[in-house]
Amino acid sequence: MLRMNYATLVDAVTNNLHRVTNGLYARGLISMETVNHIQTATGISNLLKSGQLVSVIQRQLESSLNSEQYLIDICHVLINQQHHTLTDIATSILHQLGQSIPDNVTSISSIPDDVQGYADNMRQHYKHQPIVATDWPPKVGKDFFGRLALIEKQDSSTQAKSAWHLLRGQVDKIVKLTGNKEISVEDVLQPTDSSLSLRVVTDGPPGIGKTTFCRKLLNMWSNGTLVHQQYDLVLYCPLRNSKIATATTLADLFEYKSFKVSKVVDWLSNRDGEGLLIIFDGWDELSEQLRQSSLAASIIHRKELDQCSVIVTSRSYASSSLLKMDTLSRHVQVIGFSKEEISTVIIQTLQKDTKLAQELIDKKREDDKNRKPFTTTQSSEDSQLAVKLINDLK
């Protein structure tokens, strides 16, 4: 049965590769070795990895002592992905096996083909976008981006220190934030006690990494690794784009046009935005008038599409009105490099650049005596960044 659906299954799994892999492992259907290969192998496309994963499943099925139960378990994992094509394949197999269909399949299968097709196209588009922009400093490790701090609504008398280290080698003073804690990117979209539909404000200084944070979320959605909520579609809406800023209809927010857009818009509108995540990037780019009366403002304040979820990013100076919203679910600040990460940049740079390391050792005594800033004759970007970080740390 799997072999008959091989090509279609591979294509569908490609768009949900990591979630399918994790789901299969959680049910004990594949080994950790297979998981590690899918998650860490480089130089291999997700399509090829998907084909390898389906082949592993096929071999496991053939060698299983209870192949029918193994296949049933596979089908339930596929259904849990809430993907139209995967659900169709799984329910077809379950029907052939004479098994009952889970109750949640009706709502999953109700996603129209045009909506699923447009969403899959956007996943492929987001996958090919770099997470880290070209003007970002040298990365420390894979897909490095600014650290986040989650600011909860707590007693204003509770003061907590937070490292506030700007990127591009600059280090600002440590500031005090009201009751805060670190948060992972995955948890930004964790539902609150009151609603699955979220309004999240993400702010920070210029250049700190707010757009990179958005790109990371888009990448996670396209790879199926947003763990808390499954969105049928994610729209990235840069408010610096005048067409987005002055949009008057939901269709105007679709940057990438397709003949399917009108049907997608109708389906989402009829659901009041349920299943949709909109990322409005750059609230500070809007004029005062547009902050008061625009489609973006109406959606953010739940006057339209109240069942969709929204993330809006802004420079800190412009976010105050957003933070006063009664409907605010979460306030996230991007704080960039921590002290530990700055140290990592310096250490890794000096390990690669022994000449620079020797200069640092030779000049340390001289710097201590004369109180002069450290300099280097090395011209590489890594070297210059390390020197800048060293001086700023002083």
Q: Of the spans 138-152, 164-178, 358-372, which averages the highest pLDDT? A: 358-372
Query: What would the pLDDT profile of 241-287 be if each residue is shown by its tens digit?
Result: 999 999 999 999 998 888 889 999 999 999 899 889 999 999 999 99
Q: What is the CA radius of gyration of the chain?
A: 24
pLDDT tens digit sequence for 95-142: 888 888 776 665 555 678 889 889 999 999 998 887 765 444 444 444
Summarize pLDDT for 192-251 with one digit per residue, the tens: 766 678 999 998 888 777 888 899 899 889 887 776 666 889 999 999 999 999 999 999
- Are the C-beta atoms of residues 226 and 277 closer than 8 Å to each other? no
Residue 67 DSSP SS3? helix
- Mean of the per-residue pLDDT values for the chain? 78
Going by DSSP bridges, is the β-strand pair 309-315/330-336 parallel, antiparallel, or unpaired?
unpaired
Backbone conformation region of residue 351, classed left if phi is above 0, alpha if psi is from -120 to 50, else beta: alpha
Q: In terms of pLDDT, which residue wins out, 88 or 123? A: 123
pLDDT of residue 108: 56
Per-residue confidence (pLDDT) for residue 293, from 0 to 100 = 92
Domain 147-336, second-level architecture: 3-Layer(aba) Sandwich (3.40)
Residues 333, 110: Cα–Cα separation, whole Å: 37
Has residue 339 got a pLDDT over 60? no
The domains of the chain are located at 3-109, 147-336, 340-393
In a 13 Å sphere around the CA of 344, the CA atoms on its Cβ side amount to 10
Residue type, 326: D
CA gap 147, 158 in Å, rounded: 22
Picking from 266, 210, 214, the residue whose alpha carbon sits closest to that of residue 235 is 214
Output the six-digit token pair for 332.
Answer: 């996230």
pLDDT value at residue 164:
36
Give the pLDDT band (50/70/90) at residue 88: confident
Sign of CA dihedral 146, 149, 150, 152: negative
Is the model more confident about 182 or about 93? 93
Residue 378 contacts by C-beta under 8 Å, 6 or more apart in sequence?
Answer: 353, 355, 356, 359, 384
Q: Which of 224-238, 274-288, 354-368, 379-393 has the highest mean pLDDT?
A: 274-288
